Chains A and B, each alone.
Chain A
């Protein structure tokens, strides 16, 4: 039996959210503050919005886990980073394309060009906090956030690292608004978060092996349990929800317009669970959703929530409809931490 992997820190960078408990809704999140204002120090002028949001959430998660955030301390040789974002740096890429088209490449700023690399968020997290373990970026569509949490656990279990910082981030910028509008046939709304708005923010989780966490007397918020990825929502949830393990809270996937997912059709272990759709609370959060679900689920469990937590992302290819929506569904279960 491999050493369990546990959640020991959570951090957020979301307007109007003071703590992860705010994600447990059910009301939409409201806030006029800009989380990137929390960044201190120099050298952030040329970082894109997704990177700045990721840095705020990453630092908060490391602090919450009781880990140093100053790279002047000995580097974290055995701490890695995995970032999930589907739209992370499209603003830099789009702006660069436009600049080259309008004014030639000579008008581009060499200071901004590193931001065109799709792994720029994970790179800056590693540089800023001295994280020298595995460094991964997933742009994996709707399932990306849960896939990232799963891969973080795999990295720990395989012995590549002792600890992982997982960050899910999606920014709202003008190119993101423009690029996502045709996808839905509408323009994302302004105002309070909800299913018709885009999520602008980031969330960070610190994952580590249970023995490593115990050795440093870290507080354990939750344990990462079963994970499955399958072609349909039904298949993925059945793979992680045996009948004898009742689910207390279910985070459903972001659902495209016109797609219905009935709780009554879920495995029996899930039918009595409370349902919390984070898309309603925070807006359409794409690659950040799975990490947000795990953060909120860990907070719920740490607060004494009964049973386990099921998070699902991606609606998969429904068997009852002709139209195909997503390619896959990921499902992940969290259980209470050992120290509860």
Chain B
């Protein structure tokens, strides 16, 4: 089975364009309030979201595609494969998105126009077209864990020899449907995105995109590329319980984590809590998710749960939907490269039902291996490892 390495990362969040801007924000951990949506048709009692700066983004047919192209351009530059140069192997594209270009359709209709067909795959298709990517082009629609599945699919393509070079990630932008739906379901926080806080009332969406260049270790070595990290095993499972709510016993999200950690083998061996440097949880700020995930972590990590630092990324950038898992993967890669777990955005008061370790000061990364969790409507769970490989 071939090793999969990460040789480039790119990100766009409300803190700016580029992974450097993301890392700077991670280190500063500011309490940033969400932006009021500059849309007269913005729905809900809480028309707020963490908006990405748009002025410096490349032109593209829709906002999600603009975010995706910006993140992809950085990732490819970072990997030494700048856009416009011919890559040494066909470039494959796997993109996860929750809402696609729904926002563009809404704007067209609001302006009196008739929107054309904008299926979800238009983001992946546009990205492939812009990058002249001649490999496979795949769009994954697994709601808010979509880009986690995109990374897993991309890694599987490399492992089985279908591809040597894959650009994988996710992108999501503002849409009235997503913001309105969460508000209507009373799952939108009135203050900010504050996962694991005692007073949390739901999530707050954020615009964002994250892209990673994945290669077989052999392919990266052959072109003298220095891997930033290794994409380890991933676990996938489905609650098969409810269209929106997590299954309260957490049986299936525990299963996904154990698969990623290799604890699902007959001898029960694998990575234990003591051998994890950090966990980036799904942690959205919805009431049930954070409690269930905390309990699941306790089942998987045991007594080490209170020693392994959690880095709660959504408190910094909001819930970026289909981009969230890839953004967590970029954050994990940055933590690995810098050898530091940044401070969490401060909470007012941690929920006593969420018995997890959320440090508010930075600390050295004790073990060069991170676990990322991503969950979605429909009980679509994925967990995966970002770690330093032999070559990293």
Is A179 engaged at the interface, CB distance under 8 Å to the other chain?
A: yes
- The answer to whether A145 has its CB under 8 Å from any CB of chain B is no
Contacts of B142 in A (CB 8 A): 119, 135-137
Q: Is the interface of B mostly helix, strand, loop or mixed?
A: mixed
How far in angstroms is the closest Cβ of chain A from B6?
Answer: 20
Contact A139-B176, Cβ < 8 Å, known A108-B184, A117-B378, A119-B380: no
Contact between chains at A119 and B238 (CB < 8 Å): no
**Is A154 an interface residue when CB atoms closer than 8 A count as contact?**
yes
Let me know if B181 and A108 touch, CB within 8 A: yes
B191 CB, nearest partner CB in chain A, Å: 19
State the interface size on chain A (CB cutoff 8 A).
Answer: 58
Q: Measured between C-beta atoms, what is the minimum distance from A318 to chain B in Å?
A: 15
Q: Does B139 belong to the interface (CB within 8 Å)?
A: yes
Please tell me if the beta carbons of B141 and A123 are within 8 angstroms of each other in the complex: no
Q: Which of B140, B143, B176 contacts A138 (CB 8 A)?
A: B140
Interface residue? A126 (CB, 8 A): yes
B226 at the binding interface (Cβ < 8 Å): no
A134 at the interface (CB under 8 A from B): yes
Do A127 and B240 touch across chains, with their CB atoms under 8 A apart? yes
Interface string of A107-139 (1 = CB under 8 A from B): 010100111111110111011011111111111
Q: Could you say which residues of chain B place their CB within 8 Å of the CB of A229?
A: 136
- The answer to whether B116 touches A182 (Cβ under 8 A) is yes
Q: Which residues of B contact A183 (CB under 8 A)?
A: 116-117
Tell me, yes or no, whether A328 is within 8 Å of chain B by CB: yes
Q: How far is the CB of A211 from chain B (nearest CB, A)?
A: 18
Interface size for B (C-beta < 8 A) is 60
Whether, in the assembled complex, A101 has its beta carbon less than 8 Å from a beta carbon of chain B, the answer is yes
List of B residues within 8 angstroms of A104 by Cβ: 43
Let me know if A110 and B110 touch, CB within 8 A: no
Contacts A135-B380, A154-B160; is A117 near B176 (CB within 8 Å)? no
Is the pair A96, B177 in contact by a Cβ cutoff of 8 Å? yes
- Could you tell me if B238 and A135 are in contact, using CB atoms closer than 8 angstroms? yes
Q: Are A114 and B377 in contact (CB under 8 A)?
A: yes
Contact of B238 among A115, A132, A141, A182 (CB under 8 A): A132
Contacts of B134 in A (CB 8 A): 231
Q: Is B48 an interface residue (CB 8 A)?
A: no
Q: CB distance B252 to A120 under 8 Å?
A: no
**Chain A: minimal CB distance from B248 (Å):** 15
Stretch at the interface among B16-24, B25-33, B101-109, B348-356: B101-109
Asked if B136 and A328 make an inter-chain contact with CB atoms under 8 angstroms apart, the answer reads yes
* B137, B143, B378: most-surrounded residue (chain A CB, <10 A): B378
In the assembled complex, the CB of A268 is this many whole angstroms from the nearest CB of chain B, namely 26
B156 within 8 A of A: yes
- Interchain CB contact under 8 A, B244 and A133: no
CB contact list, B179-196 vs A, under 8 A = 180-181, 183-185
Is A158 an interface position by the 8 A CB rule? yes
User: Taking the complex as formed, is B291 at the interface, i.e. its CB lies under 8 A from any CB of chain A?
Assistant: no
> Which residues of chain B are near A259, meaning CB under 8 Å?
none
Inter-chain CA distance A114–B146, complex, in Å, is: 16
Q: Give the interface segment out of A80-88, A196-204, A248-256.
A: A80-88
Interface presence of A180 (CB below 8 A) = yes
B153 touches A151 (CB 8 A): yes
User: Chain A nearest CB: distance from B208 CB in Å?
Assistant: 18
A106 to B100, CA, bound (A): 24
Is B364's CB within 8 Å of the partner chain A? no
Instruction: Specify which of A123, A140, A180 is in contact with B377 (CB 8 Å cutoff).
Output: A123
Q: Which of A54-108 contact B (CB under 8 A)?
A: 71, 75, 80-81, 86-87, 90, 93, 96-97, 100-101, 104-106, 108
The reply on A234 being an interface residue by CB < 8 A is no
**A139 vs B377: C-alpha distance when bound (angstroms):** 17
Q: Say how far A172's CB is from chain B's closest CB, in angstroms.
A: 14
| In contact, B121 and A139 (Cβ under 8 angstroms) | yes
**What's the nearest-Cβ distance from chain A to residue B368, in Å?**
26
Q: Are A179 and B117 in contact (CB under 8 A)?
A: yes
Contacts A118-B120, A120-B243 hold; do A327 and B43 have CB atoms under 8 A apart?
Answer: no
Give me 21 A-to-B residue pairs in the complex whose CB atoms sit less than 8 angstroms apart, sorted by A's number: A96-B177, A96-B181, A97-B109, A100-B176, A105-B43, A105-B44, A108-B181, A108-B184, A119-B380, A120-B378, A124-B243, A124-B378, A126-B239, A133-B238, A135-B379, A135-B380, A141-B121, A157-B160, A182-B117, A231-B134, A327-B128
Binding site for B on A (CB under 8 A): 71, 75, 80-81, 86-87, 90, 93, 96-97, 100-101, 104-106, 108, 110, 113-120, 122-124, 126-127, 129-141, 144, 147, 151, 154, 157-158, 160, 179-180, 182-183, 229, 231, 327-328
Listed from nearest, the 7 A-B pairs whose CB atoms lie closest are A123-B378, A105-B43, A105-B180, A135-B238, A118-B141, A114-B243, A139-B120
